[in-house]
């Protein structure tokens, strides 16, 4: 078994008749009882544990932002990977942990491009809702946003409805909102380490370029693709310039940027929380639903609901010993 992180052979146990997997478990603190439940289910799948590695440093009991990550190399045949993942997701929700099951071949892929949704992923806010609050129509717009993110409304149509309500908003509000945006836990550590590891990074957002470029400068992100607010005489017109960045556009951008960087889709990572991220998560080699809406979490192959964004680093196989601190 070849590790993409260390570049050395981890194990030669797997023969041609068996398929290897890597199981990663994340939590604020891993309880022995929870691990026992996970390994019991793994055994029921017909998989056996070959190797276990602790990826994180010892957890301090009173630290609310503690990170615990365990990586297990497995062997055995698995007839229905999607079904196994669905069962692991159900178990993870009941235990308050995250579980990722990756085929070893996928895990060992040299990934080099990481693309992120912005609102409720890189930042803990929906910018369009913040704009609506400034315009005095917060509740009305927030309700439409929530329905769109849950997949109950067409994103493009809901976006146009929300934009129309913002007509007349003063341009000066934009900088005030940008300065107050709360960066998601782990985002800075994740981006810092991805840059160190040679990744290219991008924002694909159904939000706005003004805020994407603000984050680009703050987090050192390489590319930003988002909607451009139309402003005339210092006032928001209620429209955007150019094509709306919706679910289909995000998936197209992922393919285009991978090709531009000379990469395959298997070498890409995508992270998002909303229904308009589903297509890009499905296209990426590692598509992670982050603190996501139910429809997204159930549809994505991988998810994180317990840790911050830097939890993605553990799904990529890196340990704290290999990573820069916060």
Q: Which residues are catalytic?
A: 117, 119
- How many whole angstroms separate alpha carbon 177 and alpha carbon 207? 13
The C-alpha atoms of residue 253 and residue 234 are separated, in whole angstroms, by: 30
Can you name the residues that pair with 283 across neighbouring β-strands?
A: none
CA 252 – CA 257 distance, rounded (Å): 9
Contact present, 205 and 249 (Cβ < 8 Å): no
Terminal alpha carbon distance of the chain = 31
Helix (H, G, I), strand (E, B) or coil at 27: strand
Of how many residues is the chain composed?
326
Cα–Cα distances in angstroms (integers) from residue 285 to residues 252, 275, 309, in the given order: 15, 18, 17
Radius of gyration of the chain (CA): 21
For residue 124, the 8-state DSSP code is S
**Residues forming a β-bridge with 303:** 289
**Which element (helix H / strand E) includes 51?**
strand 48-54
> Which helix (H) or strand (E) element contains residue 1?
none
Alpha carbons 88 and 101: distance in angstroms, whole number: 8
Closest CA to 276 of 245, 305, 304, 301: 245
Residue 216: strand, helix, or coil: helix
Residue with tokens 């365990």, as numbered in its chain: 70
């Amino acid at each position: 078994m070849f590790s993409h992180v260390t570049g050395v052979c981890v194990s030669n146990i797997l023969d041609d008749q068996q398929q290897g997997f890597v199981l990663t478990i994340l939590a604020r603190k891993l309880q022995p009882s929870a691990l026992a439940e996970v390994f019991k289910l793994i055994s029921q799948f017909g998989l056996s544990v070959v190797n276990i590695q602790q990826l994180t440093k010892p957890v301090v009991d009173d630290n609310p932002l503690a990170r615990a990550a365990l990586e297990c190399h497995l062997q055995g045949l698995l007839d229905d990977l999607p079904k196994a993942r669905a069962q692991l997701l159900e178990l993870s929700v009941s235990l308050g942990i995250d579980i990722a099951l990756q085929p070893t071949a996928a895990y060992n892929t040299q990934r080099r491009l990481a693309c992120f949704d912005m609102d409720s992923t890189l930042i803990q806010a929906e910018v369009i809702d913040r704009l609506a609050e400034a315009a005095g129509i917060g509740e009305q717009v927030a309700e439409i946003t929530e329905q769109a993110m849950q997949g109950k409304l067409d994103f493009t149509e809901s976006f146009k409805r929300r934009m129309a309500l913002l007509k007349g908003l003063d341009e000066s509000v934009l900088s005030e909102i940008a300065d107050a945006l709360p960066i998601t836990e782990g985002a800075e550590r994740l981006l810092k380490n991805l840059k160190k590891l040679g990744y290219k990074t991008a924002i694909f957002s159904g939000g706005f370029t003004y805020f994407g470029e603000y984050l680009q400068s703050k987090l050192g992100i390489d590319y930003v693709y988002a909607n451009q607010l139309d402003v005339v005489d210092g006032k928001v017109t209620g429209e955007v310039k150019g094509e709306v960045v919706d679910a289909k556009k995000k998936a197209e951008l992922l393919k285009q940027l991978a090709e531009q960087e000379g990469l395959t889709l298997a070498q890409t990572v995508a992270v998002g929380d909303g229904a308009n991220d589903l297509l890009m998560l499905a296209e990426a080699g590692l598509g992670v639903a982050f603190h996501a809406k139910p429809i997204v979490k159930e549809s994505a192959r991988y998810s994180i609901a317990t840790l911050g964004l830097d939890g993605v680093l553990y799904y990529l196989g890196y340990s704290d010993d290999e990573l820069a601190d916060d």
